[in-house]
Amino acid sequence: MIEDLIAIVVGFGAGVLSALFGVGGGLIFVPTLIFLGNDAHVAVATSLAAMVPVIVMGSWRQSRYGSIEWHDAIVIGLASVPTAKLGEMAATSLSSQALERAFAALLLFVAAQMAWHALREPPPDADP
């Protein structure tokens, strides 16, 4: 019961964050599902499945604003299909603990990269 309530709250939060920043599943669902006691492999797979409705709704709404670069989306999407199999094979070859550590390392790398760019680049409207 409490896990369902947490999942509902996380779902609402992921929906907002996904629409706001283009993130959600991996950054929100996976750590939460692991925190709730799920195996890392189950957390990753559940996160992927849970993101389908978020992606559909977010894409539909953003397309109404004309915000989607369809050429880029198609190229990235098509390139992701065969490589998703490679990622799945790599994930299943790792233990749950190793997968958790790899995920944590990825999150740290992404956070460092985002912080670096945010602190180094002037805002788009800044005068040169």
Q: Is 61 left (phi over 0), alpha (psi -120 to 50) or beta?
A: alpha
Residue with tokens 């609402």: 12
pLDDT, tens only, 24-79: 667 888 888 888 889 999 999 988 888 888 788 878 888 899 989 999 999 998 99
- Residue 119 confidence (pLDDT) above 70: yes
Question: What is this structure's pTM?
Answer: 0.72
Sign of CA pseudo-dihedral 90, 91, 97, 102: positive
